[in-house]
Structure 1
Amino acid sequence: MAGKASKKQAHTNAAVLKRLYTVAGAILALAAVRLLLSGGSWFKLIAFHAPAAACVYMLEKGGRPKFDADGRVVREGMDLNQEGLTEWMFDIVYLSLFADVGHAVFNTSKFWYVMLLVPVYLGYKIKGAAGPMLGGMRNAQAPSAGAPASAPAKSKRQTKRDKNADKIRYKYK
């Protein structure tokens, strides 16, 4: 029973990486065949796949579990099903594969324009994460002339403390 969670995460990570390589290998083989048939540029194919290759490398290095000779988990790797940066790396890989499928089916590189969504989406996510911090700085400044100054709402506990602060207290010796 010891280490059941790490065993489960290790097997889940191995399955996720296997599925990623299976899907990506099939789509990249299709794109390579299409490139051979159409006589396209190998440099363009490599340049377009650089962000996805970097993401796959990071997912592999961080998420690949390590087992010892007996099959016990030595290191389970980071959770590849977590939200945040890991999810964004998978999104970049999947967008790249989508562009490959579009290129293979329609023989146009215009599907690679979808990769322009990555910086837009990243900016949106950063604004969402940093927005409350930046918004707090704006609220700390003096209120504008047209806006009435409103006191922040007090919690029940603070209201009770303020009410009890006015009471006279006696100390008995």
Structure 2
Amino acid sequence: MARQALKTQASRNAAILQRTHMIALGVHGFHLLLRFTFVRRSFWAYLLLSFPSLLIQFWFERVGRPTYVDGVNGKELKRAGEDLEAKGLTEWMWDVVYWSWGCIVLTTLLGDWAWWFFAVIPLYSAWLAYTTFTGARQGLMGGGGAMPAEGASSGAQSKRQQKMEKRGGQKMQYR
């Protein structure tokens, strides 16, 4: 049971990478098959706009693929790879890959004008950067959900205060 968490992550990463490669093969194969047999689509647009997803998949393969070495008891885990289900940048990179696949399928089915859907990625990235920056700025400036100062009223009553006022008992006065 030694290093069970690493073994679990290694098997999960291998399964994720296998599934990713099979989906990518299906999406790109579908596009190229229809492009070369039925309809003519812009090949340069396809290459240019599928490049980010292919680059990200290569990066995931590089950092996420577990490596094994020959040991006394057969293959032993040397490195489990980075967590491919991590939050933050990894999650954003998965979004880019999925959106790229969707744009490739839409372009295959609807035509070259569907490549304009790819413009959502920079807009989404700009929105994420803006909200992250403004949230961090509010946190640094002391805003954003800070508790009211001592003696100041937030306008909300606790359940105990509400029950007391309902019974006609002691009423709270706020200044």
SS of 2:75 mapped into structure 1: coil
Verify: 1:98 aligned to 2:99, yes or no.
no
Structure 1 letter corresponding to 2:115: W
1:24 aligns with 2:24: yes
Once superposed, what is the RMSD of the aligned Cα atoms?
A: 2.3
- Aligned equivalent of 1:74: 78
Contiguous gaps of at least 5 residues in structure 2 = 151-175
Give the aligned partner of residue 126 of structure 1.
129
- TM-score relative to the length of structure 2: 0.73
Matches of residues 1-173 of structure 1 in structure 2 within 5 Å? 1-37=1-37, 38-69=39-70, 70-106=74-110, 108-135=111-138, 153-154=149-150
Residues of 2 paired with 1:8 and 1:44: CA distance?
Answer: 39
Shift of 1:42: 2.5
8 A contact 1:66–1:74 mirrored in 2: yes
SS in 2 for 1:71: strand
Give deviations 1:98-132, integer Å, cap 9, x for gaps.
Answer: 112112223x0222222211112112222232223
Percent identity over the alignment is: 27
Contact 2:6 2:80 in 1 (8 A): yes
Report the Cα distance in structure 2 between the residues aligned to 1:39 and 1:122, rounded to whole angstroms: 31
Cα drift, residue 72 of structure 1: 1.6
SS in 1 for 2:78: strand
